[in-house]
Structure 1
Amino acid sequence: MQLSSPSRRERGLFFAFLLLSGVAVLGPALTGVHAGASLFADDRAWHHLPNAMDVLSNLPFLAVGLWGLRWLGRFHRRAAHGLPASTLACAWLFFAGFLACTAGSVFYHLQPDLLRLAADRAGMTIAFAGLIGFAVCERVSHRAGPVAACATLVGGLLAVAVWHETGNVAPWAVVQFGGMALVVSLALAKPMRGAVDLKLGWVIFFYALAKGFELGDHAIYEATHHLVSGHSLKHLTAALAGLPVLHALQTFGRQSLRHNPGAAALTA
Protein backbone atom coordinates (compact mmCIF):
# COMPACT_ATOMS: atom_id res chain seq x y z
CA MET A 1 0.00 0.00 0.00
CA GLN A 2 1.37 3.38 -1.03
CA LEU A 3 1.69 5.94 1.75
CA SER A 4 0.09 9.33 1.23
CA SER A 5 2.24 12.43 1.04
CA PRO A 6 3.06 14.21 4.32
CA SER A 7 0.44 16.73 5.38
CA ARG A 8 1.25 20.33 6.24
CA ARG A 9 1.20 19.52 9.95
CA GLU A 10 3.43 16.50 9.46
CA ARG A 11 5.95 18.60 7.55
CA GLY A 12 5.84 21.24 10.27
CA LEU A 13 6.42 18.59 12.93
CA PHE A 14 9.37 17.18 10.99
CA PHE A 15 11.03 20.59 10.73
CA ALA A 16 10.38 21.26 14.43
CA PHE A 17 12.20 18.04 15.36
CA LEU A 18 14.95 18.88 12.87
CA LEU A 19 15.37 22.34 14.42
CA LEU A 20 15.47 21.00 17.98
CA SER A 21 17.98 18.32 16.96
CA GLY A 22 20.19 20.96 15.35
CA VAL A 23 20.12 23.12 18.47
CA ALA A 24 20.94 20.11 20.68
CA VAL A 25 23.88 19.01 18.52
CA LEU A 26 25.28 22.33 17.30
CA GLY A 27 24.30 24.68 20.11
CA PRO A 28 26.75 25.89 22.77
CA ALA A 29 27.56 23.53 25.58
CA LEU A 30 26.10 24.19 29.01
CA THR A 31 28.27 22.70 31.73
CA GLY A 32 28.77 23.10 35.44
CA VAL A 33 25.20 22.04 36.28
CA HIS A 34 25.45 19.36 38.94
CA ALA A 35 23.10 17.86 41.50
CA GLY A 36 23.59 16.51 44.98
CA ALA A 37 21.90 16.23 48.32
CA SER A 38 23.05 19.74 49.28
CA LEU A 39 20.99 21.25 46.45
CA PHE A 40 17.68 20.24 48.04
CA ALA A 41 16.14 22.16 50.91
CA ASP A 42 14.61 19.22 52.76
CA ASP A 43 17.15 16.54 53.62
CA ARG A 44 15.35 15.22 56.72
CA ALA A 45 15.29 11.48 57.30
CA TRP A 46 12.30 9.53 58.55
CA HIS A 47 13.28 6.48 60.60
CA HIS A 48 15.95 4.97 58.32
CA LEU A 49 14.69 6.60 55.10
CA PRO A 50 17.01 9.43 53.94
CA ASN A 51 15.55 12.51 52.24
CA ALA A 52 12.18 11.11 53.20
CA MET A 53 9.83 13.77 51.83
CA ASP A 54 11.58 13.95 48.45
CA VAL A 55 11.40 10.15 48.26
CA LEU A 56 7.82 9.62 49.45
CA SER A 57 6.44 12.48 47.35
CA ASN A 58 7.04 10.24 44.32
CA LEU A 59 4.23 7.90 45.36
CA PRO A 60 1.60 9.87 43.35
CA PHE A 61 3.57 8.99 40.19
CA LEU A 62 3.19 5.34 41.11
CA ALA A 63 -0.52 5.71 41.88
CA VAL A 64 -1.38 7.57 38.66
CA GLY A 65 0.77 5.23 36.56
CA LEU A 66 -0.85 2.10 37.97
CA TRP A 67 -4.31 3.64 37.66
CA GLY A 68 -3.68 4.51 34.02
CA LEU A 69 -2.22 1.12 33.10
CA ARG A 70 -5.00 -0.76 34.89
CA TRP A 71 -7.66 1.26 33.11
CA LEU A 72 -5.95 0.85 29.73
CA GLY A 73 -5.80 -2.91 30.26
CA ARG A 74 -9.52 -3.16 30.96
CA PHE A 75 -10.29 -0.75 28.14
CA HIS A 76 -8.26 -2.77 25.67
CA ARG A 77 -9.75 -6.12 26.68
CA ARG A 78 -13.42 -5.30 27.06
CA ALA A 79 -14.46 -2.25 25.11
CA ALA A 80 -15.36 -1.80 21.47
CA HIS A 81 -13.42 1.42 21.78
CA GLY A 82 -12.54 2.53 18.26
CA LEU A 83 -9.43 4.22 19.64
CA PRO A 84 -6.57 4.26 17.10
CA ALA A 85 -3.81 1.82 17.93
CA SER A 86 -1.19 4.57 17.72
CA THR A 87 -2.93 6.68 20.36
CA LEU A 88 -3.40 3.64 22.59
CA ALA A 89 0.28 2.71 22.27
CA CYS A 90 1.39 6.22 23.24
CA ALA A 91 -0.96 6.14 26.24
CA TRP A 92 0.61 2.85 27.38
CA LEU A 93 4.07 4.41 27.03
CA PHE A 94 3.00 7.51 28.95
CA PHE A 95 1.66 5.67 31.99
CA ALA A 96 4.51 3.13 31.93
CA GLY A 97 6.76 6.18 32.03
CA PHE A 98 5.12 7.21 35.30
CA LEU A 99 6.29 3.94 36.85
CA ALA A 100 9.77 4.55 35.43
CA CYS A 101 9.66 8.08 36.90
CA THR A 102 8.82 6.62 40.30
CA ALA A 103 11.68 4.13 40.20
CA GLY A 104 14.23 6.60 38.85
CA SER A 105 13.30 9.43 41.18
CA VAL A 106 13.21 7.26 44.30
CA PHE A 107 16.56 5.73 43.33
CA TYR A 108 18.04 9.21 42.89
CA HIS A 109 16.64 10.92 45.97
CA LEU A 110 17.68 8.11 48.32
CA GLN A 111 21.31 9.06 47.66
CA PRO A 112 21.65 11.88 45.12
CA ASP A 113 24.62 11.71 42.77
CA LEU A 114 25.20 12.16 39.05
CA LEU A 115 24.75 8.51 38.09
CA ARG A 116 21.43 8.29 39.92
CA LEU A 117 20.30 11.58 38.39
CA ALA A 118 20.87 10.01 34.97
CA ALA A 119 18.49 7.20 35.95
CA ASP A 120 15.96 9.79 37.16
CA ARG A 121 16.07 11.66 33.86
CA ALA A 122 15.85 8.45 31.85
CA GLY A 123 12.57 7.64 33.61
CA MET A 124 11.25 11.11 32.87
CA THR A 125 12.13 10.64 29.21
CA ILE A 126 9.83 7.63 28.87
CA ALA A 127 6.79 9.53 30.18
CA PHE A 128 7.69 12.58 28.11
CA ALA A 129 7.95 10.49 24.94
CA GLY A 130 4.49 9.05 25.58
CA LEU A 131 3.04 12.53 26.07
CA ILE A 132 4.61 13.90 22.89
CA GLY A 133 3.39 10.90 20.91
CA PHE A 134 -0.13 11.19 22.33
CA ALA A 135 -0.29 14.91 21.59
CA VAL A 136 0.95 14.37 18.03
CA CYS A 137 -1.69 11.68 17.47
CA GLU A 138 -4.29 14.21 18.64
CA ARG A 139 -3.13 17.27 16.69
CA VAL A 140 -1.01 16.09 13.73
CA SER A 141 -1.79 12.53 12.58
CA HIS A 142 -2.07 9.02 13.95
CA ARG A 143 0.86 7.77 11.92
CA ALA A 144 3.13 10.59 13.12
CA GLY A 145 2.44 9.96 16.82
CA PRO A 146 4.50 6.77 17.32
CA VAL A 147 7.32 8.23 15.22
CA ALA A 148 7.39 11.35 17.39
CA ALA A 149 7.31 9.22 20.54
CA CYS A 150 10.24 7.09 19.36
CA ALA A 151 12.24 10.16 18.28
CA THR A 152 11.66 11.79 21.68
CA LEU A 153 12.57 8.61 23.54
CA VAL A 154 15.79 8.04 21.60
CA GLY A 155 16.74 11.72 21.64
CA GLY A 156 16.03 12.03 25.35
CA LEU A 157 18.07 8.98 26.30
CA LEU A 158 20.94 10.18 24.12
CA ALA A 159 20.75 13.60 25.78
CA VAL A 160 20.97 11.96 29.21
CA ALA A 161 23.98 9.91 28.08
CA VAL A 162 25.72 12.99 26.65
CA TRP A 163 25.16 14.91 29.87
CA HIS A 164 26.44 12.04 32.03
CA GLU A 165 29.55 11.50 29.94
CA THR A 166 30.50 15.12 29.16
CA GLY A 167 28.66 17.30 31.68
CA ASN A 168 26.92 19.15 28.84
CA VAL A 169 23.31 19.58 29.91
CA ALA A 170 22.30 21.59 26.81
CA PRO A 171 20.86 18.61 24.84
CA TRP A 172 18.74 17.62 27.86
CA ALA A 173 17.51 21.21 28.18
CA VAL A 174 16.47 21.10 24.52
CA VAL A 175 14.56 17.86 25.08
CA GLN A 176 12.80 19.18 28.17
CA PHE A 177 12.03 22.79 27.27
CA GLY A 178 11.95 22.39 23.49
CA GLY A 179 9.63 19.43 23.92
CA MET A 180 7.27 21.44 26.10
CA ALA A 181 7.35 24.29 23.59
CA LEU A 182 6.23 21.73 21.02
CA VAL A 183 3.40 20.62 23.32
CA VAL A 184 2.32 24.27 23.70
CA SER A 185 2.23 24.71 19.93
CA LEU A 186 0.22 21.49 19.58
CA ALA A 187 -2.21 22.74 22.23
CA LEU A 188 -2.96 25.70 19.98
CA ALA A 189 -3.77 23.46 17.00
CA LYS A 190 -7.22 22.08 16.31
CA PRO A 191 -7.62 18.39 17.28
CA MET A 192 -7.83 15.88 14.44
CA ARG A 193 -11.08 14.10 13.61
CA GLY A 194 -11.70 11.24 16.03
CA ALA A 195 -9.27 12.63 18.60
CA VAL A 196 -9.63 11.83 22.27
CA ASP A 197 -9.59 15.60 22.84
CA LEU A 198 -6.89 15.68 25.48
CA LYS A 199 -6.87 19.07 27.22
CA LEU A 200 -3.20 19.83 26.75
CA GLY A 201 -3.59 23.14 28.53
CA TRP A 202 -4.04 21.32 31.84
CA VAL A 203 -0.92 19.22 31.23
CA ILE A 204 1.05 22.39 30.49
CA PHE A 205 -0.37 24.09 33.60
CA PHE A 206 0.70 21.29 35.94
CA TYR A 207 4.13 21.12 34.30
CA ALA A 208 4.67 24.88 34.67
CA LEU A 209 3.47 24.80 38.28
CA ALA A 210 5.84 21.94 39.05
CA LYS A 211 8.78 23.86 37.57
CA GLY A 212 7.82 26.86 39.69
CA PHE A 213 7.83 24.73 42.84
CA GLU A 214 11.21 23.30 41.83
CA LEU A 215 12.73 26.76 41.42
CA GLY A 216 11.28 27.86 44.75
CA ASP A 217 12.51 24.82 46.67
CA HIS A 218 14.33 26.61 49.49
CA ALA A 219 12.00 29.62 49.62
CA ILE A 220 8.92 27.41 50.03
CA TYR A 221 10.66 25.31 52.67
CA GLU A 222 11.39 28.41 54.71
CA ALA A 223 7.96 29.97 54.09
CA THR A 224 6.21 26.82 55.35
CA HIS A 225 8.49 26.71 58.42
CA HIS A 226 10.13 23.50 57.20
CA LEU A 227 6.81 21.73 56.70
CA VAL A 228 7.30 20.99 53.00
CA SER A 229 9.83 21.95 50.33
CA GLY A 230 9.25 23.15 46.82
CA HIS A 231 10.94 20.04 45.45
CA SER A 232 8.51 17.73 47.21
CA LEU A 233 5.60 19.82 45.90
CA LYS A 234 7.14 19.55 42.44
CA HIS A 235 6.76 15.77 42.54
CA LEU A 236 3.16 15.95 43.74
CA THR A 237 2.19 18.51 41.10
CA ALA A 238 3.99 16.84 38.21
CA ALA A 239 2.12 13.60 38.93
CA LEU A 240 -1.16 15.50 38.44
CA ALA A 241 -0.22 15.99 34.78
CA GLY A 242 -1.26 12.38 34.20
CA LEU A 243 -4.85 13.04 35.26
CA PRO A 244 -5.91 15.04 32.16
CA VAL A 245 -4.67 12.17 29.98
CA LEU A 246 -6.57 9.60 32.02
CA HIS A 247 -9.70 11.78 32.09
CA ALA A 248 -9.64 12.20 28.30
CA LEU A 249 -9.31 8.45 27.77
CA GLN A 250 -12.07 7.65 30.25
CA THR A 251 -14.41 10.19 28.66
CA PHE A 252 -13.71 8.72 25.22
CA GLY A 253 -14.34 5.23 26.62
CA ARG A 254 -17.70 6.18 28.10
CA GLN A 255 -18.77 7.80 24.83
CA SER A 256 -17.71 4.69 22.97
CA LEU A 257 -19.77 2.50 25.27
CA ARG A 258 -22.85 4.64 24.75
CA HIS A 259 -22.50 4.04 21.02
CA ASN A 260 -21.76 0.35 21.57
CA PRO A 261 -24.30 -0.96 24.11
CA GLY A 262 -23.01 -4.51 23.76
CA ALA A 263 -19.53 -3.60 25.02
CA ALA A 264 -18.57 -4.58 28.52
CA ALA A 265 -18.91 -1.95 31.20
CA LEU A 266 -15.86 0.04 32.20
CA THR A 267 -15.12 1.46 35.58
CA ALA A 268 -12.80 4.36 36.16
Structure 2
Amino acid sequence: MVLMVKQQLGRGKKTRLWGGVFLCWLFFILITPKFSFYPEHHLFADMRNFLGVPNTLNVITNFPFLIVGVMGFVLTLQGSFFNISFRGEVWGWALFYAGIAAVAFGSVYYHLMPDDDRAMWDNLPIMIAYSSLFSSFLVERVGEKIGLSCLIALISVAFLSMIYARTFNDFRLCMTFQLIPCIAIPAMAFLFPPKYTHSRYWLYAAGVHLLARFEAVADRKIYHANHYIISGHSMEHLCSAVVPVLLSIMLLFRNTRFQRLGDSKERP
Protein backbone atom coordinates (compact mmCIF):
# COMPACT_ATOMS: atom_id res chain seq x y z
CA MET A 1 0.00 0.00 0.00
CA VAL A 2 2.79 2.39 0.94
CA LEU A 3 4.63 1.55 -2.29
CA MET A 4 1.50 2.30 -4.35
CA VAL A 5 1.12 5.68 -2.66
CA LYS A 6 4.76 6.54 -3.37
CA GLN A 7 4.36 5.52 -7.01
CA GLN A 8 1.27 7.71 -7.34
CA LEU A 9 3.14 10.61 -5.78
CA GLY A 10 5.98 10.00 -8.24
CA ARG A 11 3.60 10.07 -11.19
CA GLY A 12 2.01 13.23 -9.83
CA LYS A 13 5.43 14.85 -9.57
CA LYS A 14 6.19 13.96 -13.20
CA THR A 15 2.84 15.34 -14.34
CA ARG A 16 3.40 18.63 -12.52
CA LEU A 17 6.91 18.86 -13.95
CA TRP A 18 5.86 18.38 -17.57
CA GLY A 19 2.81 20.60 -17.04
CA GLY A 20 5.03 23.37 -15.69
CA VAL A 21 7.45 23.04 -18.59
CA PHE A 22 4.61 23.22 -21.13
CA LEU A 23 3.04 26.26 -19.45
CA CYS A 24 6.38 28.08 -19.38
CA TRP A 25 6.92 27.32 -23.06
CA LEU A 26 3.38 28.46 -23.95
CA PHE A 27 3.77 31.66 -21.89
CA PHE A 28 7.06 32.44 -23.64
CA ILE A 29 5.52 31.97 -27.09
CA LEU A 30 2.49 34.14 -26.26
CA ILE A 31 4.33 37.11 -24.76
CA THR A 32 7.23 37.33 -27.22
CA PRO A 33 7.09 38.58 -30.80
CA LYS A 34 8.45 36.59 -33.70
CA PHE A 35 12.25 36.57 -33.56
CA SER A 36 13.74 36.53 -37.05
CA PHE A 37 17.35 36.75 -38.21
CA TYR A 38 18.15 39.72 -40.43
CA PRO A 39 21.49 40.55 -42.10
CA GLU A 40 22.42 42.92 -39.26
CA HIS A 41 22.22 40.06 -36.76
CA HIS A 42 25.32 38.61 -38.39
CA LEU A 43 27.32 41.85 -38.01
CA PHE A 44 29.33 41.57 -34.80
CA ALA A 45 31.29 44.35 -33.15
CA ASP A 46 34.69 42.76 -33.79
CA MET A 47 35.05 41.54 -37.37
CA ARG A 48 38.80 42.00 -37.66
CA ASN A 49 40.84 39.72 -39.88
CA PHE A 50 44.20 38.44 -38.62
CA LEU A 51 46.44 36.17 -40.72
CA GLY A 52 43.69 35.69 -43.27
CA VAL A 53 41.13 34.32 -40.78
CA PRO A 54 37.78 36.18 -40.97
CA ASN A 55 36.37 37.36 -37.63
CA THR A 56 39.53 36.02 -36.02
CA LEU A 57 38.79 36.49 -32.30
CA ASN A 58 35.22 35.23 -32.65
CA VAL A 59 36.68 32.12 -34.28
CA ILE A 60 39.61 31.29 -32.02
CA THR A 61 37.69 31.90 -28.78
CA ASN A 62 35.71 28.75 -29.60
CA PHE A 63 38.64 26.38 -29.10
CA PRO A 64 38.18 26.13 -25.31
CA PHE A 65 34.87 24.38 -26.08
CA LEU A 66 36.72 21.72 -28.05
CA ILE A 67 39.29 21.11 -25.31
CA VAL A 68 36.78 20.95 -22.45
CA GLY A 69 34.27 18.95 -24.50
CA VAL A 70 36.71 16.26 -25.62
CA MET A 71 38.29 15.89 -22.18
CA GLY A 72 34.91 15.72 -20.47
CA PHE A 73 33.60 13.17 -22.96
CA VAL A 74 36.63 10.89 -22.49
CA LEU A 75 36.53 11.17 -18.69
CA THR A 76 32.79 10.45 -18.62
CA LEU A 77 33.17 7.24 -20.60
CA GLN A 78 36.36 6.25 -18.76
CA GLY A 79 34.32 5.98 -15.58
CA SER A 80 36.83 6.44 -12.75
CA PHE A 81 37.42 10.20 -12.62
CA PHE A 82 33.85 11.53 -12.45
CA ASN A 83 31.42 10.44 -9.74
CA ILE A 84 28.63 9.18 -12.00
CA SER A 85 26.49 6.49 -10.40
CA PHE A 86 23.95 5.44 -13.02
CA ARG A 87 23.90 4.58 -16.71
CA GLY A 88 21.32 7.30 -17.30
CA GLU A 89 23.80 9.88 -16.08
CA VAL A 90 26.49 8.52 -18.38
CA TRP A 91 24.26 9.07 -21.41
CA GLY A 92 23.36 12.60 -20.37
CA TRP A 93 26.84 13.77 -19.45
CA ALA A 94 28.53 12.11 -22.43
CA LEU A 95 26.10 13.77 -24.82
CA PHE A 96 26.55 17.09 -22.99
CA TYR A 97 30.32 17.03 -23.48
CA ALA A 98 29.93 15.84 -27.08
CA GLY A 99 27.61 18.80 -27.67
CA ILE A 100 30.15 21.17 -26.09
CA ALA A 101 32.88 19.86 -28.41
CA ALA A 102 30.52 20.21 -31.38
CA VAL A 103 29.86 23.84 -30.39
CA ALA A 104 33.47 24.62 -31.32
CA PHE A 105 33.05 23.27 -34.86
CA GLY A 106 29.59 24.76 -35.37
CA SER A 107 30.52 28.20 -34.08
CA VAL A 108 33.79 28.34 -36.04
CA TYR A 109 31.93 27.32 -39.20
CA TYR A 110 29.38 30.07 -38.58
CA HIS A 111 31.81 32.87 -37.70
CA LEU A 112 34.00 32.25 -40.74
CA MET A 113 31.09 33.41 -42.90
CA PRO A 114 28.02 34.39 -40.80
CA ASP A 115 24.66 33.84 -42.48
CA ASP A 116 21.27 32.25 -41.75
CA ASP A 117 22.20 28.78 -43.01
CA ARG A 118 25.38 28.59 -40.94
CA ALA A 119 23.58 29.95 -37.88
CA MET A 120 21.69 26.64 -37.69
CA TRP A 121 24.95 24.73 -37.22
CA ASP A 122 25.98 27.23 -34.57
CA ASN A 123 22.76 26.82 -32.57
CA LEU A 124 22.03 23.09 -32.91
CA PRO A 125 25.06 21.82 -30.88
CA ILE A 126 24.23 24.36 -28.15
CA MET A 127 20.66 23.10 -27.97
CA ILE A 128 21.83 19.49 -27.79
CA ALA A 129 24.26 20.36 -24.99
CA TYR A 130 21.55 22.24 -23.06
CA SER A 131 19.09 19.37 -23.51
CA SER A 132 21.62 16.85 -22.22
CA LEU A 133 22.58 19.07 -19.29
CA PHE A 134 18.96 19.50 -18.21
CA SER A 135 18.43 15.76 -18.55
CA SER A 136 21.44 15.08 -16.30
CA PHE A 137 20.06 17.51 -13.76
CA LEU A 138 16.71 15.69 -13.77
CA VAL A 139 18.42 12.31 -13.36
CA GLU A 140 20.11 13.63 -10.25
CA ARG A 141 17.20 15.54 -8.73
CA VAL A 142 14.07 13.68 -9.87
CA GLY A 143 15.01 10.21 -11.12
CA GLU A 144 16.75 8.25 -13.85
CA LYS A 145 13.66 7.32 -15.87
CA ILE A 146 12.24 10.81 -16.14
CA GLY A 147 15.71 12.18 -16.90
CA LEU A 148 16.23 9.79 -19.82
CA SER A 149 12.72 10.36 -21.18
CA CYS A 150 13.36 14.08 -20.97
CA LEU A 151 16.65 13.64 -22.86
CA ILE A 152 14.91 11.90 -25.76
CA ALA A 153 12.07 14.45 -25.79
CA LEU A 154 14.34 17.50 -25.67
CA ILE A 155 16.70 16.23 -28.37
CA SER A 156 13.68 15.65 -30.60
CA VAL A 157 12.31 19.11 -29.83
CA ALA A 158 15.74 20.62 -30.56
CA PHE A 159 15.75 19.23 -34.10
CA LEU A 160 12.11 20.19 -34.65
CA SER A 161 12.83 23.70 -33.38
CA MET A 162 15.64 24.13 -35.88
CA ILE A 163 13.43 22.91 -38.72
CA TYR A 164 10.71 25.34 -37.60
CA ALA A 165 13.22 28.21 -37.29
CA ARG A 166 14.64 27.65 -40.77
CA THR A 167 11.22 27.16 -42.37
CA PHE A 168 9.44 30.14 -40.79
CA ASN A 169 12.46 32.31 -39.88
CA ASP A 170 11.31 32.32 -36.25
CA PHE A 171 13.90 31.48 -33.61
CA ARG A 172 11.71 31.77 -30.52
CA LEU A 173 11.72 28.02 -29.88
CA CYS A 174 15.49 27.99 -30.15
CA MET A 175 15.74 30.89 -27.73
CA THR A 176 13.85 28.91 -25.07
CA PHE A 177 16.73 26.42 -25.01
CA GLN A 178 19.07 29.33 -24.27
CA LEU A 179 17.04 30.04 -21.11
CA ILE A 180 17.00 26.50 -19.69
CA PRO A 181 20.29 26.60 -17.75
CA CYS A 182 19.84 30.03 -16.16
CA ILE A 183 16.14 29.76 -15.24
CA ALA A 184 14.90 26.17 -15.00
CA ILE A 185 17.91 24.67 -13.22
CA PRO A 186 18.15 27.27 -10.40
CA ALA A 187 14.36 27.12 -9.90
CA MET A 188 14.30 23.32 -9.69
CA ALA A 189 17.39 23.28 -7.48
CA PHE A 190 15.22 24.67 -4.69
CA LEU A 191 12.33 22.28 -5.37
CA PHE A 192 14.16 18.95 -5.48
CA PRO A 193 16.90 17.84 -3.03
CA PRO A 194 20.34 17.03 -4.47
CA LYS A 195 21.49 13.43 -4.64
CA TYR A 196 25.13 14.49 -4.50
CA THR A 197 27.32 16.93 -2.62
CA HIS A 198 28.77 20.06 -4.30
CA SER A 199 25.37 20.81 -5.83
CA ARG A 200 26.07 24.56 -5.53
CA TYR A 201 28.11 24.24 -8.73
CA TRP A 202 24.83 24.01 -10.63
CA LEU A 203 24.05 27.55 -9.47
CA TYR A 204 27.59 28.74 -10.22
CA ALA A 205 27.28 27.40 -13.77
CA ALA A 206 23.85 29.00 -14.23
CA GLY A 207 25.22 32.34 -13.03
CA VAL A 208 28.19 32.20 -15.40
CA HIS A 209 25.87 31.27 -18.26
CA LEU A 210 23.67 34.27 -17.44
CA LEU A 211 26.76 36.51 -17.43
CA ALA A 212 27.68 35.16 -20.87
CA ARG A 213 24.21 36.06 -22.13
CA PHE A 214 24.69 39.66 -20.96
CA GLU A 215 28.08 39.82 -22.65
CA ALA A 216 26.51 38.75 -25.93
CA VAL A 217 23.83 41.44 -25.67
CA ALA A 218 26.42 44.10 -24.79
CA ASP A 219 28.75 43.07 -27.62
CA ARG A 220 29.54 46.55 -28.94
CA LYS A 221 29.45 48.34 -25.58
CA ILE A 222 32.04 45.97 -24.13
CA TYR A 223 34.16 46.30 -27.27
CA HIS A 224 34.14 50.10 -26.98
CA ALA A 225 34.70 50.04 -23.19
CA ASN A 226 37.96 48.05 -23.41
CA HIS A 227 39.26 50.19 -26.30
CA TYR A 228 38.64 47.63 -29.03
CA ILE A 229 40.72 44.83 -27.55
CA ILE A 230 38.03 42.15 -27.31
CA SER A 231 34.31 42.24 -28.03
CA GLY A 232 31.43 41.13 -25.84
CA HIS A 233 30.70 38.25 -28.21
CA SER A 234 34.24 36.88 -27.93
CA MET A 235 34.05 37.25 -24.16
CA GLU A 236 30.75 35.36 -24.26
CA HIS A 237 32.54 32.41 -25.87
CA LEU A 238 35.22 32.37 -23.18
CA CYS A 239 32.71 32.81 -20.37
CA SER A 240 30.43 30.08 -21.72
CA ALA A 241 33.39 27.68 -21.83
CA VAL A 242 33.74 28.15 -18.06
CA VAL A 243 30.32 26.48 -17.57
CA PRO A 244 31.44 22.93 -18.48
CA VAL A 245 34.64 23.53 -16.49
CA LEU A 246 32.60 24.26 -13.35
CA LEU A 247 30.41 21.24 -13.95
CA SER A 248 33.48 19.06 -14.47
CA ILE A 249 34.82 20.20 -11.09
CA MET A 250 31.46 19.26 -9.57
CA LEU A 251 31.57 15.78 -11.13
CA LEU A 252 35.14 15.30 -10.00
CA PHE A 253 34.64 16.11 -6.31
CA ARG A 254 31.02 15.28 -5.53
CA ASN A 255 29.92 12.31 -3.42
CA THR A 256 26.59 10.52 -3.09
CA ARG A 257 24.46 11.91 -0.27
CA PHE A 258 21.65 9.33 -0.37
CA GLN A 259 20.10 6.61 -2.54
CA ARG A 260 16.86 7.83 -4.10
CA LEU A 261 13.89 5.43 -4.12
CA GLY A 262 13.41 3.90 -7.56
CA ASP A 263 16.97 4.49 -8.75
CA SER A 264 18.40 1.62 -10.76
CA LYS A 265 21.52 -0.29 -9.83
CA GLU A 266 24.80 1.50 -9.99
CA ARG A 267 26.83 1.19 -13.15
CA PRO A 268 29.50 -1.54 -13.10
User: Shift of residue 74 of structure 1?
Assistant: 2.2
When residues 216 and 84 of structure 1 are mapped into structure 2, their CA distance, relative to the original with a 3 A threshold, is same
Count, aligned residues: 252
Q: Which amino acid in structure 1 is aligned with residue 74 of structure 2? A: R
Distance of 1:41 and 1:149 partners within structure 2: 36
Gapped runs of 5+ residues in structure 2?
258-268
Deviations 1:68-89 (A, max 9, x none): 11211322xx579670111121
Q: C-alpha displacement at 1:231, in angstroms?
A: 0.2
Which residue of structure 2 aligns with residue 60 of structure 1? 64
**For 1:203-238, what per-residue CA distance to the aligned partner results, in whole angstroms no more than 9, with x for missing partners?**
111111101110111111111111100000000000
Q: Residues 7, 84 of structure 1: CA spacing in aligned structure 2 closer, same or farther, 3 A cutoff?
A: same
Give the direction of change, closer, same or farther, for the CA distance of 1:179–1:205 in structure 2 (3 Å limit).
closer
Deviation at 1:18, TM superposition (A): 2.3
Q: How far is 1:194 from its partner?
A: 5.3
Question: Are 2:32 and 1:44 equivalent residues in the alignment?
Answer: no
Asked if 1:95 is matched to 2:100, the reply is no
> Residue in 1 aligned with 2:22?
18
Q: Which of 103, 106, 126 is residue 104 of structure 1 equivalent to?
A: 106
Taking the aligned partners of 2:87 and 2:39, their CA distance within structure 1 comes to 39
- Counterpart of 1:218 in structure 2 is 220
Q: Deviations over 1:172-192 (max 9, x none)?
A: 223322564222212223434
Residue type at the aligned position of 1:39: L
Amino acid at match of 2:64: P
The AA in structure 1 aligned to 2:228 is H
Counterpart mapping for 1:106-121 below 5 A: 106-121=108-123
Q: CA deviation at 1:49?
A: 0.8
Residues 144-163 of structure 1 aligned to structure 2 (within 5 Å): 144-163=146-165
Change (3 A) 1:179 1:21: farther
| Residues 79 and 241 of structure 1, relative CA distance in 2, 3 Å threshold | closer
- The answer for the alignment partner of 1:206 in structure 2 is 208
TM-superposed CA distance for 1:254, in Å, is 11
Structure 1 residues 212 and 51: CA distance shift in structure 2, 3 A: same
- What SS does the aligned partner of 2:144 have? coil
**Which whole-Å CA distance do the structure 2 matches of 1:14 and 1:117 have between them?**
29
- Residue pair 2:77, 2:94 contacting (<8 A) in 1 also: no
2:143 to 141, 144, 158: 141
Work out whether residues 197 and 256 of structure 2, in 8 Å CA contact, stay in contact via their aligned partners in 1.
Answer: no
Q: Match of 1:241, SS?
A: helix
Residues 189-200 of structure 1: pairs in structure 2 closer than 5 A: 189-193=191-195, 197=199, 199-200=201-202
Give the fraction of aligned pairs with identical amino acids, expressed as a percent: 24
Structure 1 position 65, deviation (Å): 0.5
Question: Normalization by structure 2: what TM-score?
Answer: 0.83
Q: 1:71 aligns with which of 72, 75, 81?
A: 75
The answer to whether the 8 Å contact 1:219/1:230 transfers is yes
Unaligned runs of 5+ in 1: 256-268
| Structure-2 change in CA distance of 1:80 and 1:116 (3 Å) | closer
